[in-house]
Structure 1
Amino acid sequence: MDAVLHVISDRNRHRLPLLEALAESARGGADVIQIREKKAPASETYGLVRALQQICTEERLSSRILVNDRVDIALSAGIAGVHLAAKSLPIPAAAQLRRQIGWSGMIGCSVHSLDEAIRAQGAGADYVTFGHVFASESHPGLPPRGLYALRRVTEALSIPVIAIGGIDRANVGAVLETGCSGVAVIGSVLNAEDPLAAVKRLKEAMKRSGSSPKVPFCPTAPDLAPAAPLIGSHTKEG
């Protein structure tokens, strides 16, 4: 199986309206769209998830949807998973909730060191994102972890590792040579005038690398279409 491309939303880093940029990313072939709304009310995040979900269902797009932090939204929307951060619900608690209600979505988390990655795997994470690999607009002034650190994490873990931070067409080949399961990007797609074309170019560069992931990233849950009409606006942007 090929390495996967995750596109992560950021209300401060997109040229097109956010929903349109994310939909174009899905149309371009992004394997995963992660909705990350750190400061938005739950209702807005839920509305954005549902709106993108509806587009993917109606257009039969293959992109899977994850939501950052909000386990409640992931469960209520029936999406492919939730991505946890340091201040999110602990991984074991999210895993217990998943078992209790019979949800089959993935539980991922962000890590920044080998020790954190090993602890996340031990706690029950289905995958981790590791970074930032290169200098990144999301982490100004902080030194990147680099490819050597990424390779160490990939070699140590038996779950998928997604690389993040400053990744673009020029360096994605070197990133995938570490055996990671895929890459996650924000600016190289959402800051583009044409996110659809940006995704296609990045996916082409990933295929040209010829590298195979040590552990394939395989979302386990289908994204369900909204069961009822959307209520309220999801288009307000900060």
Structure 2
Amino acid sequence: MKTVLHVISDRNRHRLPLLQALSKAAEGGADVIQIREKKAPAAETYGMILELQQQLRLHGLATKVFVNDRADIGIAAELDGVHLAAKSLPIQVVKQLRMQTGWSGLIGCSIHALDEAVAAEQAGVDYVTFGHVYASESHPGLAPRGLQSLHRVVDALSIPVIAIGGIDRANVGAVLDTGCSGIAVIGAVLDAQDPLVATRQLKDEMEKSRTHPKIPFRLPSFPQS
């Protein structure tokens, strides 16, 4: 089982129109597109997701769509996953919503330290995202956690760990050598003039890794609405 690539949206970091850039990333081989809209109204985010889903269907792409923070939108749009942040609903509450509604998506969350990772696994998330591994424009002035910290989290958990933060073609091999389940990027794809080419090049570098993930990231198999 190979590692997976998550591409995360950012309204402030894209050369092409955002939906076009995300669609091209999907064409280039992104396994997951995560829509992260921290300030947009729910209706706007929902509409953006529906438009992205339509683009993926038109191109016959199997790329999965996750949403950051908004469990309500994830359930309403029957998305493949919801990624929780520090100020999101508690993990247990989202798990209850999943059970009550019959929604079948994954639940992930961001963590930044080993104790947070262990607590998240105990709370029942399906995966965690750990970072930032390298210096990142998303976290200016904050020291990166580094590969050793990533490796400790991977070793400690029995769920998939996705690495994030400053990852690109030049360093992705070293990141995957930790045994993580995949990577998440923003700038490495969205800052590129051609997100499709950038995604393909990143996936090519990932394919070269001889290190298998400790825990495979198993994508949901149900179709998008």
- Give the superposition deviation at 1:56: 1.1
Query: Match of 1:205?
Result: 205
Kept after mapping to 2: 8 A contact 1:164/1:184: yes
Q: How does 1:111-130 map to 2 (within 5 A)?
A: 111-130=111-130
Kept after mapping to 2: 8 A contact 1:161/1:181: yes
- Give the superposition deviation at 1:223: 4.1
Query: Match of 1:59?
Result: 59
CA distance in 1, matches of 2:78, 2:58: 16
Q: CA RMSD in A?
A: 0.8
Query: Match of 1:140?
Result: 140
CA distance in 2, matches of 1:119, 1:221: 27
Query: Match of 1:23?
Result: 23
Q: Which amino acid aligns with 2:216?
A: P
Q: How does 1:1-238 map to 2 (within 5 A)?
A: 1-225=1-225
Which runs of structure 1 show a deviation greater than 6 angstroms over 4 or more consecutive aligned residues? none
**1:120-166 superposed Cα distances (whole Å, 9 cap, x missing partner):** 00011100000000000000010000000000000100000000000
Equivalent residues, number: 225
CA distance in 2, matches of 1:198, 1:109: 26
Q: Which amino acid aligns with 2:133?
A: V
Kept after mapping to 2: 8 A contact 1:29/1:62: no
CA distance in 2, matches of 1:50, 1:211: 36
* Worse overlay, 71-80 or 213-222: 213-222
SS in 2 for 1:97: helix
Give the TM-score of the pair, scaled to structure 2. 0.98
CA distance in 2, matches of 1:116, 1:183: 19
Shift in alpha-carbon separation, 1:223–1:72, aligned structure 2, 3 A: farther
- Give the superposition deviation at 1:221: 4.8
CA distance in 1, matches of 2:211, 2:62: 22
**1:66-99 superposed Cα distances (whole Å, 9 cap, x missing partner):** 0000001100111101000010000000001101
Q: Which amino acid aligns with 1:63?
A: T
- Give the superposition deviation at 1:210: 1.6
SS in 2 for 1:107: strand
Q: What residue ranges of structure 2 are gaps of 5+ in the alignment?
A: none
Q: Which amino acid aligns with 2:155?
A: E
SS in 1 for 2:162: strand
Q: Which amino acid aligns with 1:153?
A: V
CA distance in 2, matches of 1:180, 1:131: 12
SS in 2 for 1:89: coil
- Give the superposition deviation at 1:220: 2.1
Kept after mapping to 2: 8 A contact 1:6/1:33: yes
- Give the superposition deviation at 1:209: 1.6
Kept after mapping to 2: 8 A contact 1:181/1:217: yes
- Aligned sequence identity (%): 66
Give the TM-score of the pair, scaled to structure 1. 0.93
CA distance in 2, matches of 1:223, 1:111: 28
**1:150-198 superposed Cα distances (whole Å, 9 cap, x missing partner):** 0000010000000000000000000000000000000010000000000
